[in-house]
Structure 1
Amino acid sequence: MTGLHPGTPYPLGATPGPHGVNFALAAPRATVVELCLFDATGRHEQQRLKVTAQTNGVWHAALPHARTGLVYGWRVHGPWVPHEGLRFNPAKVLLDPYAREVVGNYGGEDLFLGHHPADPNRRDARDNASIALKARVVDPLPPAGPAPRIADGDRVIYELHVRGQTRLHPGVPPDLRGTYAGLAEPAVLDHLQRLGVTTLNLMPVQFRADEERLFKLGLSNYWGYSPIGWFAPEARYWTGRPGTSPASEFRVMTDAIHARGMEVVIDVVFNHSAETDELGPTLSLRGIDNLLYYHLRPDDRALYQNWTGCGNCLHLSEPRVVQLVMDALRHWVTQLGVDGFRFDLAPILARREGGDFDPRAPFLAAAAQDPVLARTLLIAEPWDIGPGGYGLGQFPPGWLEWNDRFRDTQRGFWLHRGVGLGEFAQRFTASSDAFRHDGRAPTASVNFITAHDGFTLRDLLSYSERHNLANGEHNRDGHAHNLSRNCGVEGETDDPLVLAERKRLARVLLAVLLLSQGTPMMLAGDELGHTQRGNNNAYCQDNETTWLHWDRADASLVDYVSRLLALRREAAPLRSTQWWPAYAMPDTTALRWRTPEGQAMTPADWERRDRHALAILFAAPSPATNWLILVNAEAAEVAFHLDGGPWVRRLASDKDSAEAWPLGSTVTLEPGSLWVAKT
């Protein structure tokens, strides 16, 4: 391996073949590009080869006789003019953005800085080859096999963290806990299958580099929203067993999940990179072609647009950046067996040069027509901190979106009675005000009460204030407005009355989440009664704060959630994929809203601010089944008059009994409870 051949400009990255490896790197403003070869550990640079072929801004070369396992990095030469957006520094070895496997870890060392530590305007001449992140050439995995197809109305999402899900799981062998292999263990998948979820949403699993600030505090970016290797599975969740790799182990995991009839969605971060702001490290894109890959400030291109709050934004108006994202997504589908993606701070993906959101932006158009990605599940977190940063409902048909209005409405309605019946009904029926346009279905609304970002369900009912001191930010981080309710005691207690109220409210919130129209999403551990001791921003807590404590699981709550999801599967109107018409149509099920007295809701009833109880009737043509949901968020008991019938109660959030129970013409619901009945 002494000389390079010209090779080809496509595909980008390192591609092994029968006669060697082809390398291609998009760096249109570079003046010289060098391919650097390392020993297997990645610490010792053995050769530095000048790449001479360049086509349309792509530098390319073929290395004859090279094989998989080869470790390499790039040195990219060019001008150092930060105020013009140019930050080339050949003293820094750079990670290939197409790396399928990453060698090494960023530890916050200032040797990674492209600029001099004492002067951001000077280029740092120190060589970082020994510690730089490098790529390893790997063979492709066999094509992913068929995955289960979950009907839109049947989908129930379960958001989990690979490490936290199994780190303390007694049914997982100790050497597999906290890993991809651990998540594939039968004891783990048995629980999820019994629960009735259909779709596992994994928090970020792309290779990451933690922030320098966290290293100084002895912490890490546990959530993983700090990517630098978009094609490579995070190595921290790999067992390291001989004969395996992070990618092969991840693929075994997705195959095992598919075998149980469940989908795999991964949380992806294409809005920013781990290189952070102008004072951050030079790991990859910044040194390859800073002007190409990032949105820079027009008044001073030494500075980065920061519509993410993380220091930088990827520039997805650039075709090469769109190509990087699209190629990475296809890789996760075809090679690693992923069925869909949840996009963190998704408006960034569709922001033009000036920052305006465009629903026809290049990335959104590319994803819509792509033969691989158009068939996957695409979920947007529809907000960032850019211009007009909150955009619920603005994504095009085919996309689902996290619906925080559902979260806030249900918290406000059940915990504080600060939300009216009209708002409750709007969110219960999938937020047509946001999603009923351009042919979008009710399932576009991803309903949630809790998610990784915020309180767990147990903490939502145990803490009125955040308790985030362990994060090292003086309790200033995390949401201050949580609509939580501690039920009279801040934190843990053995008071039986407080515990009873918390149990009752947890059960009713789970019921309204899993029985509302739309796509429900649960937070992992809520069914167990998991607590983070009031930390509502545990992004840097890789410890027992975030790991699920299976030995403390609330078995009755697990059983209750299983019954809720079984009921959802049984009751077709609760998972309808069609919007309910304003008026009943002949020979179809009709949605009717009733007062507790059994009368049709009038405009005056909807506008009342002193009432938080109603009945929801799904009336089907005879002899089909009618379904009835009784809602009481009042502070006192409410009597409901039931027409029709005979009615049989199938679920009561305030009762432990799972038995079907015949109902009379009048029933009384306890405060903060929800019942489901059928004919």
Structure 2
Amino acid sequence: MGAPPGLAEAVIGPGRAQPLGATLDATGVNFSVYSEHATRVELLLFDRYDALAPGRVIQLDPDLHRSYHFWHCRVDGLTVGQTYAYRMDGPHHTKDSGSRFNPRKVLLDPYARANVNSLWERVRAIGPEDNCAYSMRSMVVDLDGYDWEGDEPLRTPLAESVIYEVHVGGLTASPTAGVTHPGTFAGLVEKIPYLKELGVTAVELLPVFDFDERQVLRTGPNGTPLHNYWGYDPFGFFAPHTGYCSDACECTHITEFRDMVKALHRAGIEVILDVVFNHTSEGNEHGPTISFRGQANETYYHLWPQDRRHYMDFTGCGNAINANHPAVAKFIIECLEYWVTEHHVDGFRFDLASELSRGAEGYEMDVPPVLWGIELSGILSETKIIAEPWDGGGLYQVGRFPGKRWSQWNGPYRDDIRRFVRGDGGLVGAVATRIGGSRDLFSKSGELPTNSVNFITCHDGFTLNDLVSYNEKHNHANGESNADGAHENFSWNGGVEGPTDAQDIERLRVRQIKNHVALLMLSRGVPMILAGDEFRNSQDGNNNAYCQGNPIAWLDWEQAEKNTETRRFFQEMIAFRKRTAAVREPHFFSGRRNDRDLPDVTWHGTKLEQPGWEDTDARVLAFTLAGFGGEPDLHVILNMFHLGLDFELPRIGGHRWARTVDTALEAPADVLTAGSEEPVAGHTYHAHGRSVVVLTSLPHDGGFHR
């Protein structure tokens, strides 16, 4: 692989400014890069991806190769696999203008569709010396030759979605995964039958844009170097992550990513990318020069106006992207549109999305152009757009995120449900609101329950097993003296910190896991579960495993074979949600009545229609959901008190109640499949302490009323 013979004789033409990046056609490649203030630009062409020096350096003439802010040229004879990079010179007025041109540093193309890092040494991009022999390079790819076999984005309605958040590498990196290509896009493909059996409708992939996985953050207590594992530190926004390719030096990036998307779509599973447009891997003024810093530092980043040597940091990662600058907004929107048009991606989750609402000097904007540009893009109009509606600078926008179409990670949902299941009192009103789709957050501006992404756990925090097994975080392996990660997790260990052989505590933990997922699947909004929670994957109490590219953060598939009870419960609760419209309804409760004169929801406590909203010690809640269109009614009992209690059941003419779910029972009685529900005798139900019960209405003749 590499440049074709005769690179030195290749014909150079003026090229064109648009599109940006390296665009391949039948006879050559057009190169275009943005830099408003550069005074000299060189295009470096390498004979091989691992060549220490370029085989040819093309000096771009500003009279021929510059159009306003864009530098461009065309090189005939180049083809797929050609590696290239840039050098730029210009003003270095860091304090006054913020410009940081440095001709000694080799720069990636921000629009590159693939990169190679076989020679990369991060420290060489920081120091004063020339780093060409240790630089990353961008790669020319062919976007047109792939056979999609008729594939299209799936467009699953949000109300019918169940999202599975997963780290591409961590899913199959462990030998226990038993895959041919561990830790790769291809490895994920091998797990598709498992995902389909589980029943999820979408995978939300932790960052798959190219990031520097070689960066050593620090050394752990045992002397092991700790690296950037999660990937929330990108430099290549148009490029699939090199480390997730089975052989990245063979230009397989695009094909392997597309193969994964196509295979997931065949299984009915959407692909949502977790994208990071709030900061880059270049960090603060002490970080490396990779691309943006050396091309248009003052454009891409928020800089302190008093002294532009220093970077504003609303992310906790050293810098913050100036997302509402026109050139940067163009970059972000074109990037998203590229992943949709060229790779059939179904949606995006935006990390620290509130940072994208900040203006030139870092203040919150009422109408951020980039966020509205994303919402109003015709190409993105049928994709899912999900915001993490806060940032590291204190901006918190849950329920008031700019725009109407944005779904949002619902932090209050996570916290209220965790506290309720833990056994905290006085939360029944808040829990009812969360179950109903968080009307308090999303109804004021005409939004819907589908604007709420409901979750108990995610990559950032405890796994579900650890949430019910640890009172405190145990992050010592991160090398930060256990000071990192969330200090308050609303967790409860059941009486023993960490693993235990005590069977009574183990049964309680299993029940608490079931309680959490039952509530999640019974709530209006969009449920999201963390990969591995279904089989009690543990991170040994580490609630911030961002630097643990090792068994601490990898999924242990032996647990999937061991913990079949919880795995089955997840699977059946997902199936229950899919067949039960009352819990998927994309609207808030309205009081509408069904043919049996039941309102869409009625709230109760142990006594009918006495929910105890004002009881500051209440730990119980029940509610009845009316079935519409021939569906059965539901009656749900939530008893988070530590003792069992009797709950009155509503009477519905011509029908009786049958048990579908009782988390206090052992499998398979804990959740029953459709058609196998167990009739309930009498007009009360005894709910064991710390349990969730779901009853389904049956006509007295024993069959469902369809």
Q: TM > 0.5 between the two?
A: yes
Query: Judging changes above 3 Å, is the alpha-carbon distance between structure 1 residues 169 and 555 closer, same or farther for their aligned structure 2 residues?
Result: farther
Query: Judging changes above 3 Å, is the alpha-carbon distance between structure 1 residues 216 and 622 closer, same or farther for their aligned structure 2 residues?
Result: closer
Picking from 549, 555, 579, the partner of 2:556 is 549
Q: Which moved more, 1:282-291 or 1:175-184?
A: 175-184
| Structure 1 position 31 matched with structure 2 position 35 | no
1:49-448 equivalent positions in 2, closer than 5 A: 49-52=58-61, 53-84=65-96, 85-104=98-117, 109-113=122-126, 117=127, 124=128, 126-141=129-144, 142=146, 145-168=151-174, 172-173=178-179, 175-185=180-190, 188-210=191-213, 212-214=215-217, 218-240=225-247, 245-358=252-365, 360-386=367-393, 388-448=395-455
TM-score between both structures, scaled by the size of structure 1: 0.94
1:645-664 equivalent positions in 2, closer than 5 A: 645-656=655-666, 657=669, 658=672, 659-663=676-680, 664=682
Picking from 570, 574, 583, the partner of 1:565 is 574
Q: Report the Cα distance in structure 2 between the residues aligned to 1:445 and 1:593, rounded to whole angstroms.
A: 22
Listed one character per residue, the Cα deviations across residues 233-292 of structure 1 (whole Å, up to 9, x for unaligned) are 111111118976022111101100000011010111110000000100001100011011
Q: Would the aligned equivalents of 1:413 and 1:633 in 2 still touch at CA under 8 Å?
A: yes
Query: Judging changes above 3 Å, is the alpha-carbon distance between structure 1 residues 138 and 107 closer, same or farther for their aligned structure 2 residues?
Result: closer
Partner of 1:120: none
SS of alignment partner, residue 80 of structure 1:
coil
Q: Would the aligned equivalents of 1:211 and 1:274 in 2 still touch at CA under 8 Å?
A: no
Q: Report the Cα distance in structure 2 between the residues aligned to 1:370 and 1:588, rounded to whole angstroms.
A: 42
Partner of 1:498: 505
Q: Would the aligned equivalents of 2:177 and 2:557 in 1 still touch at CA under 8 Å?
A: no
Q: Which moved more, 1:505-514 or 1:429-438?
A: 429-438
Partner of 1:574: 583
Q: Report the Cα distance in structure 1 between the residues aligned to 2:691 and 2:430, rounded to whole angstroms.
A: 18
Q: Would the aligned equivalents of 1:45 and 1:130 in 2 still touch at CA under 8 Å?
A: no
Q: Would the aligned equivalents of 2:120 and 2:136 in 1 still touch at CA under 8 Å?
A: no
Q: Report the Cα distance in structure 2 between the residues aligned to 1:374 and 1:620, rounded to whole angstroms.
A: 32
TM-score between both structures, scaled by the size of structure 2: 0.90
Q: Report the Cα distance in structure 1 between the residues aligned to 2:300 and 2:360, rounded to whole angstroms.
A: 12
Q: How many residues align?
A: 663
Q: Would the aligned equivalents of 2:176 and 2:556 in 1 still touch at CA under 8 Å?
A: no
Query: Judging changes above 3 Å, is the alpha-carbon distance between structure 1 residues 296 and 143 closer, same or farther for their aligned structure 2 residues?
Result: farther
C-alpha displacement of 1:428 = 1.0
Q: Report the Cα distance in structure 2 between the residues aligned to 1:223 and 1:28, rounded to whole angstroms.
A: 33
Query: Judging changes above 3 Å, is the alpha-carbon distance between structure 1 residues 382 and 211 closer, same or farther for their aligned structure 2 residues?
Result: farther
Listed one character per residue, the Cα deviations across residues 156-184 of structure 1 (whole Å, up to 9, x for unaligned) are 000011111122365643x4121111111
Q: Would the aligned equivalents of 1:346 and 1:384 in 2 still touch at CA under 8 Å?
A: yes
What amino acid maps onto 2:679 in structure 1?
P
SS of alignment partner, residue 522 of structure 1:
strand
What amino acid maps onto 2:167 in structure 1?
H
| Structure 1 position 22 matched with structure 2 position 40 | no
Listed one character per residue, the Cα deviations across residues 305-359 of structure 1 (whole Å, up to 9, x for unaligned) are 1001101111111111111111211221122221111100001112112323335
Partner of 2:603: 593
Q: Report the Cα distance in structure 2 between the residues aligned to 1:322 and 1:131, rounded to whole angstroms.
A: 31
C-alpha displacement of 1:68 = 2.1
| Structure 1 position 673 matched with structure 2 position 688 | no
Q: Would the aligned equivalents of 1:292 and 1:315 in 2 still touch at CA under 8 Å?
A: yes
Considering only aligned residues, what root-mean-square deviation do their CA atoms show, in Å? 2.0
C-alpha displacement of 1:104 = 1.4
Q: Report the Cα distance in structure 1 between the residues aligned to 2:376 and 2:332, rounded to whole angstroms.
A: 14
Listed one character per residue, the Cα deviations across residues 649-677 of structure 1 (whole Å, up to 9, x for unaligned) are 11111112135211121111011111111
What amino acid maps onto 1:156 in structure 2?
V
Q: Would the aligned equivalents of 2:60 and 2:72 in 1 still touch at CA under 8 Å?
A: yes
Query: Judging changes above 3 Å, is the alpha-carbon distance between structure 1 residues 240 and 506 closer, same or farther for their aligned structure 2 residues?
Result: same
Could you tell me which runs of 5 or more consecutive residues in structure 1 were left unpaired when the two chains were aligned.
Answer: 118-123
SS of alignment partner, residue 552 of structure 1:
helix
